[in-house]
Amino acid sequence: MDLHTVVEVVSPATVGQWRPGDAWLGGGTGLFAEPQTGVTRLLDLAAAGWTPVTAHEHGLEIAATCTVAELAGYAGAPRFTAFHELATACCRAFLASAKIWNVATVGGNLCAALPAGPMIALTAALDGECLLLAPAGERRLGVVDLVTGDGRTALAPGELLRSITLPAAALTGRTAFRQGSLFTHGRSAVLLIGRRAGAGLVLTVTAATVRPFQLRFAGVPAAAELAAALRDTVPGDAYVDDVHGLPAWRRHLTARYAEEIRAELAR
């Protein structure tokens, strides 16, 4: 929709230009989808020309401005099998169509911090680490710590997300993916990702909860151990209560899918 209060676009924009009333602009599919009456200036990052995905020895670096389509189409690091298995599934978990993938960015999805954000699920499950830039300097923060609540992040005013790095160690184990929604191809109400890390298991819970939760096990736990750990890690009030699914149902599906993932990855 038209953002009538916007009077200027800075393109490309860089860190240090932000002032109150500014909004960092990725693809724009989030920003332009809701009224933004407090925004007077757009700081365009998409024009910065950052390389969408870079494969390093130590892992994959995804620019915040990498579009969902670029991520889905990336084939440059076949050895990172876990990434490729999960990237397609997570892109498909978007409520939005492939037309939105052409424009929406990975960074935009993280910074919007919606429970259903599938790029949050992907990068959290793969132990992603965010590079954050601010005038005072840069810092690094895990994806699971970037998103602090429904629509809330750890970003300071004026701070921007530059990239997410997925460490190589997280990109080769077997994975399992489960998504639940009120509707076929609908918005995620529950999105769980399991990953074998050596002998261990990492379970990432998103969509059902107001922020990502991660459970790490040294080995594959027994069913009861997993269920108990889930109860201990995710407090009851962390389950989202909104129009996209009742909290009790989300909690039930979380437990059900966690067990399915455990069983699948134990084989």
6 token code pair: 């916007």
Q: Which of 17, 142, 200, 249 binds another protein (CB under 8 A)?
A: 249
Measured from the Cβ of residue 213, the count of other Cβ atoms closer than 10 Å reads: 20
Name the one range near another protein by CB under 8 A: 36-44, 70-78, 131-139, 141-149. 36-44
Rounded distance between C-alpha atoms, residue 216 and residue 224, angstroms: 15
Backbone angles phi, psi at 152, to 5 degrees: -120, 140
Q: Report if residue 223 touches another protein, rule: CB under 8 A.
A: no
Rounded distance between C-alpha atoms, residue 49 and residue 46, angstroms: 7
Closest to another protein by CB, 112 vs 143, is: 112
Identify residues 3-22 at the interface with another protein (CB under 8 A): 3-9, 11
Dihedral in degrees, nearest 10, Cα atoms 29, 35, 37, 38? -50
Q: Report if residue 84 touches another protein, rule: CB under 8 A.
A: no
Identify residues 188-207 at the interface with another protein (CB under 8 A): 189
**Are 37 and 69 in contact, with CB atoms under 8 Å apart?**
no
Q: Which of 222, 223, 228, 248 binds another protein (CB under 8 A)?
A: 248
Closest to another protein by CB, 68 vs 143, is: 68
Q: Which of 48, 103, 141, 227 binds another protein (CB under 8 A)?
A: 103
Q: Which of 15, 18, 22, 25 binds another protein (CB under 8 A)?
A: 25
Rounded distance between C-alpha atoms, residue 175 and residue 264, angstroms: 9
Preceding peptide of 12 cis, ω within 30°: yes
Q: Which of 48, 55, 72, 100 binds another protein (CB under 8 A)?
A: 100
Kindly state the smallest distance separating residue 142's Cβ from another protein, in Å. Answer: 28
